[in-house]
Chain A
Amino acid sequence: MAIPLKYNLRNLAVRRTTTAMTASSITLTVTVFVVLMALAQGLQTSLTATGHPLNLIVMRDGSQSETQSSVQRDALQTIKYLEGIAKNEKGEPVVSPELVVLINLPRRGQVQGSNVTIRGLGPEGFAMRKEFKLVEGREYRSGLREVIVSKRIAERFQNCGLGDRLKFAKGYWTVVGIFDAGNTAFASEIWTNADDLAPDFDRDAYSSVLVRATDAGAVQRLKKAVADDRRLHLKADTEQEYYERQTRTAAPIKFLGIFIAALMAVGASFAAMNTMYAAVARRTKEIGALRVVGFSRGSILLSFIIESVLIAALGGFMGCLLALPINGVTTGTTNFMTFSELAFSFQITPGLMLAGMIFAVLMGFIGGLFPAWRAAHENIVTALRST
């Protein structure tokens, strides 16, 4: 049997100030790590959560985002009548030709602006997005220069509240409704009628066409049909594929998170190492006594590593707790694929907390390794002669 755990726990309690200080350096590291990863996680989720599996976005072949794409009006007629497209109650194809443009709007409390996506939808556009929910006001009516604004944009940008008048393109637009789109990319958009938007931006063509397939088999057939029609120069991606591609936006945040956390981890590991070296020095004589009684070098090594890991686990636990309140807090960043504002929430998952704990334990292990090695390899006679 190994040296009992209570030996370590009580030693940690005896020097509780040092324990707390060492743990807190690990707490800080884990907090920063979890918060930054929660940012990346939230961003990623908001993009991967967007899209209906049977929705396809038809765009110009080679374009990365809807804003770069254009689909001519005559192409729309071809797309509409492709085999495999779902029909509504009236027997019309479930298809939404859409126009996506960016406008620069000032943020609340700031002078400089950010790009915000304005999406002009076809009549079927609402029904095709299950996440859409009007929470205030009413839907826009065509021909009246009315828009509805997502809740997150309304909160974060000037003149975007219900009843406000918003100036862009050729004049003023009235905000008649606020909508919620859950944790999806649509939650960062302003919506209006595509046919109202087009003349204001002097656009003849649409940006994309959203089509609903009848079933999974039809999704594949539609993709192929669009790609095979050489005259169109279009491609069809599922909505989910399209938004998943944009999760690349999260990569730099992840990288930054890991980089900063790694830097801090070096510091925290050294703090743990210092503490453990001091502990070993103070307890040299009793380590000698433990060896005399028959405990092996291995069990001494293990015991001190465990002690260091215990400090780190405490710090890691505190770090996760400290990071927890950020869960669900909304923030925004520029989507590097569309160059427009993407609002999303920090997301702390159980997996992320586990990663934080593993990270903490790793710091404790690395910090404890050398001091524990010294404790285990001290000569018994020398250890007993120490004071």
Chain B
Amino acid sequence: MAKSVVEIKNLSKIFQRDSFSVAALESIDLDVKEGEFLCLMGPSGSGKTTLLNIIAGIDRPTGGELHVLGEDIATLSEDALATWRNVHVGFVFQTFNLIPVLTAYENVELPLLLTKLSAAERKEHVLMALKLVGLADRIDHYPRQLSGGQEQRVAIARAIVTDPTLVVADEPTGDLDAYSADEVLDILSRLNRDFKKTILMVTHDPRAAHHATVVRHLEKGQLLPVEN
């Protein structure tokens, strides 16, 4: 039996907005095993992004239990959580979120600046990550000089350059054409298959779900039972 990477029990998230509150997540129970490629689906506003953010340590739950890689991340301080994210999680966004004034190389190097690696070691890691996403020849290009698909692949390189256990991706193909989307999904599959990364991906795209080992559905903040 594989180790659990994500253990969630009775988790809830309520957004407080002025006078009324929105229950984005309600009594979520979820267990993600090491090496899984979990695909999270569901209608807009069902809480997919919120769940992903909480697991990745960029948002905090309002109730329930949450352990990621054995760590009770809800109790970590803001700074400790930042370090934890840097070491353990790679994040891929729908809108890439590369830094426009930095080149592909410099964008990928960013997370490594927070590690103890030397400049030479950083270079080795960055080039390896960019090679893995097939962009070794674009290292000096700025984001605006790249296509959407290429930008997203740089973003994936940035997410994996620290060799994190967990990679989370929020609609990584949402802004891409079909061809680029396939490239991105292939890379994520390869990361899961060949590099044993645990992957959590939110998507609306049924084709994307084919790459997953597990598919779960959210609706109105609740996780639907496993179907098969």
Q: How far is the CB of B123 from chain A (nearest CB, A)?
A: 14
Residue among A10, A11, A290, A293 with the highest chain B CB neighbour number at 10 A = A293
**In chain B, residues 118-145, which have Cβ atoms closer than 8 Å to a Cβ of chain A?**
none
**Are A380 and B99 in contact (CB-based, < 8 A)?**
no
Q: Is A321 at the interface (CB under 8 A from chain B)?
A: no
**Are B110 and A290 in contact (CB-based, < 8 A)?**
yes
Q: Which of B80-88, B146-154, B220-228 contacts A (4 or more CB under 8 A)?
A: B80-88
Q: Which residue of chain A has its CB nearest to the CB of B162?
A: A294
CA distance A285 to B113 in the complex (A): 20
**Interface class of chain A by DSSP:** helix
**Are B82 and A296 in contact (CB-based, < 8 A)?**
yes
**Residues in A whose Cβ lies below 8 Å from that of B114:** 1, 293-295
Contact with B along A216-245 (1 / 0, CB 8 A): 000000000000000000000000000000
Contact with B along A274-295 (1 / 0, CB 8 A): 0000000000011011111111
Contact count band on A: 20 to 34
Q: Of the candidates A10, A285, A288, A293, which one forms a contact with B110 in the assembled complex, judged by CB atoms under 8 Å apart?
A: A293
Given known pairs A4-B113, A297-B78, the reply for A291 and B58 (CB within 8 Å) is: yes
**Residues in A whose Cβ lies below 8 Å from that of B111:** 293-294
Q: Which residue of chain B has its CB nearest to the CB of A12?
A: B101
Q: Is B102 at the interface (CB under 8 A from chain A)?
A: yes
Q: Is A199 at the interface (CB under 8 A from chain B)?
A: no
**Residues in A whose Cβ lies below 8 Å from that of B36:** none
**In chain A, residues 282-336, which have Cβ atoms closer than 8 Å to a Cβ of chain B?**
285-286, 288-298
**Residues in A whose Cβ lies below 8 Å from that of B100:** 14, 286
Given known pairs A292-B58, A294-B86, the reply for A10 and B113 (CB within 8 Å) is: no
Q: How far is the CB of A283 from chain B (nearest CB, A)?
A: 9
**Are A7 and B79 in contact (CB-based, < 8 A)?**
no
CA distance A380 to B53 in the complex (A): 10
Q: Of the candidates A7, A289, A296, which one forms a contact with B97 in the assembled complex, judged by CB atoms under 8 Å apart?
A: A289
Q: How far is the CB of B104 from chain A (nearest CB, A)?
A: 14
Contact with A along B86-108 (1 / 0, CB 8 A): 11000101010111111000100
Q: Which residue of chain A has its CB nearest to the CB of B53?
A: A381
Given known pairs A10-B102, A294-B83, A294-B85, the reply for A288 and B113 (CB within 8 Å) is: no
Q: Of the candidates A1, A286, A296, which one forms a contact with B113 in the assembled complex, judged by CB atoms under 8 Å apart?
A: A1
Q: Is A170 at the interface (CB under 8 A from chain B)?
A: no
**Are A6 and B97 in contact (CB-based, < 8 A)?**
no
Q: Of the candidates A10, A291, A298, which one forms a contact with B101 in the assembled complex, judged by CB atoms under 8 Å apart?
A: A10
Q: Is A384 at the interface (CB under 8 A from chain B)?
A: yes
CA distance A2 to B101 in the complex (A): 16
Q: Which residue of chain A has its CB nearest to the CB of B59?
A: A381
Q: How far is the CB of A71 from chain B (nearest CB, A)?
A: 75
Q: Is B48 at the interface (CB under 8 A from chain A)?
A: no
Q: Is B197 at the interface (CB under 8 A from chain A)?
A: no
Given known pairs A1-B114, A292-B91, the reply for A381 and B82 (CB within 8 Å) is: no
**Are A7 and B58 in contact (CB-based, < 8 A)?**
no
Q: How far is the CB of A19 from chain B (nearest CB, A)?
A: 13
CA distance A285 to B98 in the complex (A): 10
Q: How far is the CB of A279 from chain B (nearest CB, A)?
A: 12
Given known pairs A294-B86, A380-B59, the reply for A289 and B113 (CB within 8 Å) is: no
Q: Which residue of chain B has its CB nearest to the CB of A294?
A: B86
**Residues in B whose Cβ lies below 8 Å from that of A292:** 56, 58, 85, 91, 97
**Residues in B whose Cβ lies below 8 Å from that of A384:** 58, 93, 97
CA distance A7 to B98 in the complex (A): 12
CA distance A292 to B85 in the complex (A): 7
**Residues in A whose Cβ lies below 8 Å from that of B99:** 7, 286, 289-290
**In chain B, residues 26-71, which have Cβ atoms closer than 8 Å to a Cβ of chain A?**
53, 56, 58-59
Q: Which residue of chain A has its CB nearest to the CB of B83?
A: A294
**Residues in B whose Cβ lies below 8 Å from that of A11:** 101
Q: Of the candidates B56, B78, B85, B97, which one forms a contact with A288 in the assembled complex, judged by CB atoms under 8 Å apart?
A: B97
Given known pairs A296-B79, A297-B78, A380-B58, the reply for A6 and B86 (CB within 8 Å) is: no
CA distance A4 to B122 in the complex (A): 14
Given known pairs A1-B113, A381-B53, the reply for A295 and B82 (CB within 8 Å) is: yes
**Residues in A whose Cβ lies below 8 Å from that of B78:** 296-297
**Residues in B whose Cβ lies below 8 Å from that of A297:** 78-79, 82
Residue among B53, B58, B91, B95 with the highest chain A CB neighbour number at 10 A = B58
CA distance A50 to B59 in the complex (A): 71
**Residues in A whose Cβ lies below 8 Å from that of B93:** 289, 384
Q: Which residue of chain B has its CB nearest to the CB of A14?
A: B101
Q: How far is the CB of A1 from chain B (nearest CB, A)?
A: 4
**Residues in B whose Cβ lies below 8 Å from that of A380:** 58-59
**Residues in A whose Cβ lies below 8 Å from that of B79:** 296-298
**Are B106 and A6 in contact (CB-based, < 8 A)?**
yes
Extra contacts, 8 of them, besides A292-B97, A380-B58 (Cβ < 8 A), are A4-B106, A4-B113, A6-B106, A285-B95, A290-B110, A292-B56, A294-B114, A384-B97
In the assembled complex, 20 residue pairs joining A and B whose CB atoms fall closer than 8 Å, in A order, are: A1-B114, A4-B106, A6-B102, A6-B106, A11-B101, A285-B97, A286-B97, A289-B93, A292-B58, A292-B91, A293-B86, A293-B91, A293-B111, A294-B82, A294-B85, A297-B79, A297-B82, A298-B79, A381-B59, A384-B58
Question: Which positions in B face A, CB cutoff 8 Å?
Answer: 53, 56, 58-59, 78-79, 82-83, 85-87, 91, 93, 95, 97-102, 106, 110-111, 113-114, 158
Q: Which 7 pairs from chain A and chain B are nearest by CB?
A: A294-B86, A10-B101, A289-B97, A1-B113, A380-B58, A293-B111, A296-B82
